[in-house]
Structure 1
Amino acid sequence: MPTPTDRVHEAYRRIAAADRPEVWVTLRPERDVALEAEAVEERLAAGEDLPLAGVLVAVKDNIDVAGLPTTAACEEYAYTPERSATAVRRLAAAGALVLGKTNLDQFATGLVGTRSPYGAVRHAHRPERISGGSSSGSAVAVALGIADAALGTDTAGSGRVPAALHGIVGLKPSVGLVPATGVVPAARPYDCVTVFGPDLASATAVLKVMTGPDPEDPYSRTWPADTRLAPRGAGRVAVPTSDGLAVLSAAERASFRAAADRLRETGAEIGEVDVAPLLEAARLLYDGALVAERYAAVGDFLEGEPASADPTVSGIILAAADLAAPALAADQQRLVAYRSAARELLAGFDALMLPTTVGHPTLEEVAADPVGVNSRMGTYTNFVNLLDLSAVAVPVGEADGHDFGVTLVGRAFEDQVALDLAAALTGLPAGEVYPEPGVELAVFGAHLRGQPLNHQLTDLGARFVREAQTSTDYRMYALATTPPKPGLQRVDEGGAAIRCEVWRVSPAGLGAFLAALPAPMALGSVTLADGRSVVGFGCEAAAVAGAEDITGHGGWLAYLASREARQALDVS
C-alpha cells in the first residue's frame, strides 16, 4: 500500500504529465510536501488517529494557507498569511497534505473559470471548453486525478457547476457549517467553503473534518438539536415541471428525467413543483441590490484600478457602488419572502432535485458573451445560498457529448438527507454520517423496520445504523398493547441475548419521542453484546406480570413468525 510520501511523489508526476500550469496559482515544492508526508507517517506510527492521513488536497486561492500567497486571482491584492484558514488547519490536523493554491475566477466572481490573469482554466479533458468556476482549478485538480479532494468556495454555485462539468462530486454544506475564517469574502452572508471529490464518501470525509463552529467567524453555525439524519423511507423528492426545465437542451432534459426515473426505481416518490419562485430569487444575487455585498468585500480595492483586475469582474462589482441603501433593504425583504416560498415549495418533500447547470460552453462562447453565458450557467445554483439551503452535486451521465449532473437541494442542516438521496441515485456509498448530533437508540418491537410504529422514527429523521444484540442479561415478554409490543426486562440471572436494531436520532427527536411514549413503555440504558451502552426500550416491571415470556425466540420478529406459523396450523 502506498505511503503518504509515495502518494505525494505520484501526484507531482501527474502534475508534470498533465502540463496544465493554469490550474495553479502557487504550487508548493515537492520536497516540502514530501517532508510533511513523512511527518504524517511518524504521527501514524506514534498511534495518532488521523482520519485524513496522506489525503492530498488542493486549495482555492481565496482560502488562506500559511506561508503561501493568497491572491484571489489578482496579483496586486496578494498577501501572505501567517495562519491558515480554519478549514485548512482542521484538515492538516487530520493528516491532510496541501499541494498548492488553485486558480479561480477573480474574487470568486463567476461560474466560468476564465476570469483570471493567471489564465483561463480549461476543462480537464476537453481543453476547448470551460472548466466552470469560480472554483476552476480545484475541480480540475481532482478531475485530473492529482488531488484526492479540493477546497472551493460557493456563493452562487462555484462549488457545484465545475463538479457537474467534470463528472465529479461537489458538496456545498449549509451556510456556516464550515467556518469561513481566513477566506476572502465574495458576498459574506452567503459564502460557503465547499469540497470537490471523486466520490461521495471521500468528499464527505473531508467536509466532516472541516465542520464545526468557530468563534472567529460570526456567521458560523452548529448543528441544531433537531437535525434530521435521514430521509423518510426511500425519500420524497421534488423535481421541476416541464416549464422549469425549458432552458435545457432536449438531451439535457432527457438525462434529467432519466435521473428522476433512477431515483424512482430506488423507491423514492417523485413529485413535480413550480420552481419559478426559486429562479426569480436567483436573480437577486447579481441583478438586484444584494450585489452590494461584493462591493463591500473588495470594492474599495478595485476602485484603485489595479492592473490585473479582470474587466468583467470589476464591472460587476464596481457597478454596485451607487446602489442606495433603500434598494438593498427592499431586496433583503424580498429575500425573506422568497425563503418563505421555498419552505412552502419543499413542504412534504425531503429534497429538490435540479439540473446543476445548463450546457457546457466553449472558451470562445464565453469570450463572445461573458456575462450572458455566466448567467445561464447559474440558472439552477444562484438561489441556493440566498435561501439558506444545502446542496449535493453528483454526476448522472452525459448530454450533448458532455458530462451532465444533478443537484439534490435540501433545507438548511438537512445535508445528510441530500447525501443519502444522492447516494441512492448514483449507487455511490455516502460514507460516514456527516452531522455530529445524535443519540443511538435500540428498538426491539413495533419500531423495527417494517413494523407498524417505525414511522415514528423516520418522521423524526432517525437513521437506521445496524442490527445488533443485547448482552445476555435480558428477558423479553409479549405485552397486551395495541399494536402488540415486546417488553424488555434486565435480569440478574437467566437472561439471554435479544436481537434489536440500533437507530440514531437527534437529541430533540429523542426528547419528542420520549414525551409521546405511552405507558408501560420506558426508555433507559441497554447494554449491547459488544459491551457498549445505548438508550433502549424497556417497560415497567408491573407490565410483564402474566405476560408471555418470549425470550426463547431471541427477538420480536422471530416470535411474530412463530406465532403466525402456529395460527396457520390452527386454521388448517
Structure 2
Amino acid sequence: MPAQPSASFPRQGWTLADWQSAYRRDGLALADVLADFAARANDADPALILRADAARLTQQAEALAARVAAAGGSLAGFPLYGVPFVVKDNIDVAGWPTTAACPAYAYTPAEDAEVVRRLKAAGAIVIGKANLDQFATGLVGTRSPFGPVPNTFDPAYVSGGSSSGSASVVARGWVPFSLGTDTAGSGRVPAAFNNIVGLKPTVGAFSGRGAVPACRTLDCISVFALTVSDAEAVADIAAGHDPADPYSRARPAGATAWPRPRARIAIPAQCEFFGDAFAEAHYARALQTLRDSGAEVVEIDFAPFAELAALLYQGPWVAERYTVAEDLLARDPDAVHPVVRGILEQARGYSAADAFRAEYRRAELARTIQATLAEVDALMVPSTPSIYTIEALLADPVTLNSRLGTYTNFTNLADLSALAVPAGLREDGLPAGVTFIAPAWHDAALAELGRRWERLHTLPAGVAARTQAPRMIRLAVVGAHLRGMPLNHQLTSRDAVFVEACHSASDYRLYALPGTVPPKPGLARGKDGAAIALELWDVPATAFGDFVAEVPGPLGIGTVTLADGREVKGFICEPRGLEGAQDITEFGGWRAYRASVAAQQKT
C-alpha cells in the first residue's frame, strides 16, 4: 500500500512503484495530483527556478490523456503514467524558458529535449525546472543568481552541484526522480550530499539534444532517484540512439556486462580526504561493509585517475565550456556569475596545440585506466573527499570546488559509467556516499552492484534518514572482539559497524589474563605505559545493553582515552583481574602479542 499523502507536500517520498500502484490499483486521480502541484506554483524554493502552473500542468495532462485514449485506455504502455519529475534548467522543456541559471542567456524552446520527450511519452509530468551552478560549471550549488541551494540535511552546507536543485527535490521526496547533467561529477556529488542515488550513464547513451552543453564532447544527462532500481528504470526509458545528435551512440551488440557473484572491486591504494576525519572514517566503514559482504577487494594505483581528473579544469577543456557562453561574454560579461566567468575566461590562455597535447595525454591515461578496470567488476571510491559549508565555498570558491572533483572529474574523460549510492551518515550526521565506476556500457552491471549495496544498508534514502538513523554508541575494543578474533561476531551480529583502527593514550598497560577462554587481554591505565592498538566500533544503542551483559568479569566497560584526546566507551579490567597476569605492553597491542604466541608455538 503506498504511503499516505503528506500534510506538508503531496505523496512525499513515493518511489515509482508507489506511484504506479496508486494510479493502477488505488484509484489515484491525475487531476488531484496536478491540482496539488498547481496550488504550490507560486511557492518560493531555492531548488527551483520555475514551478509548473495550472496551465502548464493541464497542457501536459491533456496530451497524456490523448495518448492513453489512442492506446485504447490502457496504461500498460505508460510505465511513468502521472509520475511527477523535475528537469535541470539547462535541459529544454517545450514552451518553458531554459536559463542555465543565467537570465541573460534565457531562451524558450519549441521542442522538448529528446530525453524529456521520451519520459513524457512514457507518461511522466514535468512539475518544475531546477536551479544549478550557472552553465553547469561547478560542483557546489552556490554559483547561481537564483541563490545557493542548501543541503537537505543541514542548510549551512552545500547541496553539491551543478545539479543542486535536481538532487534537493528528490531528497525531500517531492518527486521520485529528476534529471541532471554530469560532465565532471554534477550528477554524483549532489547525490552524495543529499543521500540519494545518482546514475551517470555511459556518455552518448542518452541523447544530448536539447541540453545546454558544458563540454559537449563529454556531457551526459543523468538521473537522480531514491533507489537504484528507480534510477535504472528511468534510464532505460530515457536512453536510446538519436540520429539527430552527433554525439549519441548506439549500444554495441554484446556490450552488457554482469558482475561476478562474488564481486571483484578495485579501491584506491590511498585516498585523499583533505584533513576531513569524518569523511575518512566514513569511507573506512564503507570499505569494511564491502569486505564483510564477501566482495574481493583489490587495491590499485589511483595516480592515473587523479592525473586525468586534474586535466579537466587545468587543461584546455575549459575552452569547450567557453564556446557555450562566448557570445554573451563578448556583449555582456557582467551577466555571467563572476566565479563562472573567471573559469571560462581561462580559455583564452590555451592554443589549439595545447588542446591536441592534452588530448594525447588523455588518451594515454584513459587506456591505462580502462586496462585497470578490465580486471575488476568496478572501482569503488568515496563520492567526494569532504563536504563544505556555503560560507566556506563563497570564501574560497575555486580550491574547494576543485577538491570535490577528486573522485569524479576523470570519469567522462576515460569513457566510463558511474553510479553514486548512499552509504549512510557520517558521525556528524551529514550524508556521504560511494560511487561504483566501470567501463562504458557497463551501466546494468553497476545497477546490480548498486542493488547489492542497498541490501547492506537499513537507512532510507533522502532526508528520511535524518529521523530513522539509529543512535550509536562508540566502543573501543582491544582484544578478542577485534576483527578476525573469536568474539568479533558479538559485535557484527548486533549490526555494529567498524569505524577505524587507532591507539589509546600513552599511559595504558596491556595484560594477558590467565585462564580466559578464548584468550583475552586486560587494559589498565596508570602513571606510565604506552599507546595500545585499538579498534573503534559503532554499536546500536538498542543493542548495547545486551552486548555489555555478555562481558564477563573481571572485564567491564568504562571510559578509554584515545591518543588524539577523544574519550569513548571501551573495555577495561578490574585490578583483581590483573593478579598473575602477564604484562604484554611492549607488544603494543593484542594482535601483535597473539602473533608472537603463534610463532612460538610453531617452533
Paired amino acid for 1:157 = G
Query: 2:478 — aligned with what?
Result: none
> What pairs with 1:249-288 in structure 2 (closer than 5 Å)?
249-288=276-315
Query: 1:136 — aligned with what?
Result: 164
What is the rounded CA distance, in whole Å, between the counterparts of 1:347 and 1:182 in structure 2? 34
What is the rounded CA distance, in whole Å, between the counterparts of 1:97 and 1:328 in structure 2? 42
Query: 2:249 — aligned with what?
Result: 221
Query: Please, which of 192, 215, 220 is the counterpart of residue 164 of structure 1?
Result: 192
Paired amino acid for 2:439 = R
Deviation at 1:32, TM superposition (A): 3.1
SS of residue matched to 1:295 = helix
What is the rounded CA distance, in whole Å, between the counterparts of 1:204 and 1:4 in structure 2? 24
Asked whether the equivalents of residues 202 and 417 of structure 2 are also in contact (C-alpha less than 8 Å), the reply is: yes
Paired amino acid for 1:123 = N
Deviation at 1:428, TM superposition (A): 8.3
Deviation at 1:30, TM superposition (A): 3.4
- Greater shift after overlay, 309-318 or 117-126? 117-126
TM (norm. structure 2) is 0.68
1:309-362 CA distances to partner (integer Å, 9 max, x unpaired)?
100101101110231111110000000011111023213101000000122211
Query: 1:424 — aligned with what?
Result: 452
Query: 1:509 — aligned with what?
Result: none
Q: Cα distance 1:15–1:117, how it changes in 2: closer, same or farther (>3 A)? A: same
Q: Cα distance 1:54–1:368, how it changes in 2: closer, same or farther (>3 A)? A: same
Asked whether the equivalents of residues 151 and 196 of structure 1 are also in contact (C-alpha less than 8 Å), the reply is: yes
Deviation at 1:14, TM superposition (A): 7.3
Deviation at 1:297, TM superposition (A): 2.4
Q: Percent identity?
A: 46
TM (norm. structure 1) is 0.71
1:57-102 CA distances to partner (integer Å, 9 max, x unpaired)?
1001110100001111111111100001000000110000001211
Query: 1:30 — aligned with what?
Result: 54
Asked whether the equivalents of residues 4 and 38 of structure 1 are also in contact (C-alpha less than 8 Å), the reply is: no
Query: 1:446 — aligned with what?
Result: none
Asked whether the equivalents of residues 5 and 38 of structure 1 are also in contact (C-alpha less than 8 Å), the reply is: no
Query: Please, which of 163, 182, 187 is the counterpart of residue 154 of structure 1?
Result: 182
Query: 1:64 — aligned with what?
Result: 92
Asked whether the equivalents of residues 283 and 382 of structure 2 are also in contact (C-alpha less than 8 Å), the reply is: yes
Query: 2:565 — aligned with what?
Result: none
Query: 1:77 — aligned with what?
Result: 105
Deviation at 1:249, TM superposition (A): 2.5
Query: Please, which of 198, 201, 204 is the counterpart of residue 176 of structure 1?
Result: 204
What is the rounded CA distance, in whole Å, between the counterparts of 2:35 and 2:437 in structure 1? 38
What is the rounded CA distance, in whole Å, between the counterparts of 1:257 and 1:38 in structure 2? 52
SS of residue matched to 2:335 = coil
Q: Cα distance 1:382–1:72, how it changes in 2: closer, same or farther (>3 A)? A: same
Structure 2 gaps of 5+ residues are 1-25, 458-603
> What pairs with 1:195-344 in structure 2 (closer than 5 Å)?
195-241=223-269, 243-247=270-274, 249-344=276-371
Deviation at 1:151, TM superposition (A): 0.5
Query: 1:414 — aligned with what?
Result: 442
Asked whether the equivalents of residues 163 and 169 of structure 1 are also in contact (C-alpha less than 8 Å), the reply is: yes
1:21 aligns with 2:49: no
SS of residue matched to 1:220 = coil
What is the rounded CA distance, in whole Å, between the counterparts of 1:135 and 1:236 in structure 2? 31
1:113 aligns with 2:137: no
SS of residue matched to 1:257 = helix
Asked whether the equivalents of residues 285 and 382 of structure 1 are also in contact (C-alpha less than 8 Å), the reply is: yes
Asked whether the equivalents of residues 240 and 273 of structure 1 are also in contact (C-alpha less than 8 Å), the reply is: yes
Paired amino acid for 1:284 = L
Asked whether the equivalents of residues 199 and 428 of structure 1 are also in contact (C-alpha less than 8 Å), the reply is: no
1:240-280 CA distances to partner (integer Å, 9 max, x unpaired)?
11x22453623322222322232333332111111121011
What is the rounded CA distance, in whole Å, between the counterparts of 2:58 and 2:191 in structure 1? 28
Paired amino acid for 2:422 = P
- 4+ residue runs over 6 A deviation: 13-16
Query: 1:124 — aligned with what?
Result: 152
Asked whether the equivalents of residues 41 and 53 of structure 2 are also in contact (C-alpha less than 8 Å), the reply is: no
What is the rounded CA distance, in whole Å, between the counterparts of 1:336 and 1:283 in structure 2? 14
Structure 1 gaps of 5+ residues are 430-572
Query: 2:33 — aligned with what?
Result: 7
Query: Please, which of 410, 431, 435 is the counterpart of residue 383 of structure 1?
Result: 410
Paired amino acid for 2:408 = T
SS of residue matched to 1:95 = coil
Q: Cα distance 1:388–1:38, how it changes in 2: closer, same or farther (>3 A)? A: same
